[in-house]
């Protein structure tokens, strides 16, 4: 039995992944944005615990990490929480960040830094990462006209870069990214054509399976098969630039990302 923390597990793919895990006898720590959502997820999921915190705020990212660490070491962490691209304007967080960057990129970075090192890390990306831009010059969209679709694509490229950076710097941890497909979640919309049931399978497979195909690191998967990525995703220079940028924005260094 594995112990797995799943962010953004109150609905959509995160809830589906958590349900797959509990249905197979694994121990799940769920995550909810607030107490109301935590109460809702407890009613539908046999989670052993629920960490509560709004991942758009750095202070609450820290609080979520503290709650997870207080429960003891987890075998895997699935970084599923995300916001979408349909907002017509740039939403700014309490820390002055674009919400899509804070939740989709900075939160998995901070949680990776602060949660006791698991055996496996899974980062939810998207097929849209192939259209992302790795330039960090205006990552918060302060100078450019807001484009929610581009901001989301950028964030998913950054998630893939983060997974590959961790895989490179933590050789003792299996760190991978996942494209779950364009599926009919609240974010994906009702007309999404991909297989919703398959959307959560790969993240669960990477988190707990003993299948040799899942026991790899530094790969990007779509429906349990390695998949192509944006060429910038494997640039060590761009990965390190992203880590440095996130450290500056969060005040949390990843200098300890080398061997323990």
What amino acid positions are annotated as catalytic residues?
152, 156
**How far, CA to CA in Å, does 100 sit from each of 82, 85, 91, 156?**
7, 8, 8, 10
Cβ pair 14, 80 in contact under 8 A:
yes
DSSP tag of 92: B
At 13, give phi and psi (nearest 5°). -65, -35
Give the C-alpha separation, 161 to 238, whole Å. Answer: 8
Q: Per the structure block, which two tokens stand in for 60?
A: 């609450």
Cβ pair 82, 103 in contact under 8 A:
yes
Cβ pair 181, 194 in contact under 8 A:
yes
- Positive or negative CA dihedral for 214, 160, 150, 55? positive
Give the C-alpha separation, 37 to 33, whole Å. Answer: 6
């Amino acid at each position: 039995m594995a112990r797995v923390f799943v962010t953004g597990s109150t609905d959509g793919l995160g809830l589906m992944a958590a349900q797959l895990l509990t249905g197979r006898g694994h121990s799940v720590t769920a995550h909810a944005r607030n107490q109301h959502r935590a109460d809702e997820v407890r009613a539908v999921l046999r989670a052993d615990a629920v960490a509560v915190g709004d991942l758009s705020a750095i202070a609450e990212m820290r609080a979520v990490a503290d709650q997870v660490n207080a429960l003891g070491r987890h075998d895997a962490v699935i970084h599923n929480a995300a916001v979408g691209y349909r907002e017509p304007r740039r939403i700014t967080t309490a820390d002055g960040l674009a919400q899509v960057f804070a939740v989709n990129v900075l939160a998995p970075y901070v949680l990776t830094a602060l949660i006791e090192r698991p055996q496996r890390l899974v980062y939810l990306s998207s097929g849209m990462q192939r259209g992302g831009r790795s330039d960090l010059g205006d990552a918060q969209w302060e100078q450019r006209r807001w484009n929610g679709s581009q901001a989301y694509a950028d964030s998913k490229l950054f998630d893939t870069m983060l997974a590959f950076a961790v895989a490179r710097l933590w050789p003792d941890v299996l760190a991978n990214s996942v494209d779950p497909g364009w599926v009919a979640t609240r974010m994906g919309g009702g007309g999404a054509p991909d297989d919703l049931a398959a959307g959560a399978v790969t993240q669960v497979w990477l988190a707990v399976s003993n299948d040799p195909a899942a026991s790899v690191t530094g790969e990007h998967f779509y429906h349990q098969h390695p998949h192509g990525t944006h060429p910038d995703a494997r640039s060590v220079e761009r990965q390190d630039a992203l880590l440095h940028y996130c450290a500056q924005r969060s005040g949390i260094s990843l200098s300890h990302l080398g061997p323990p």
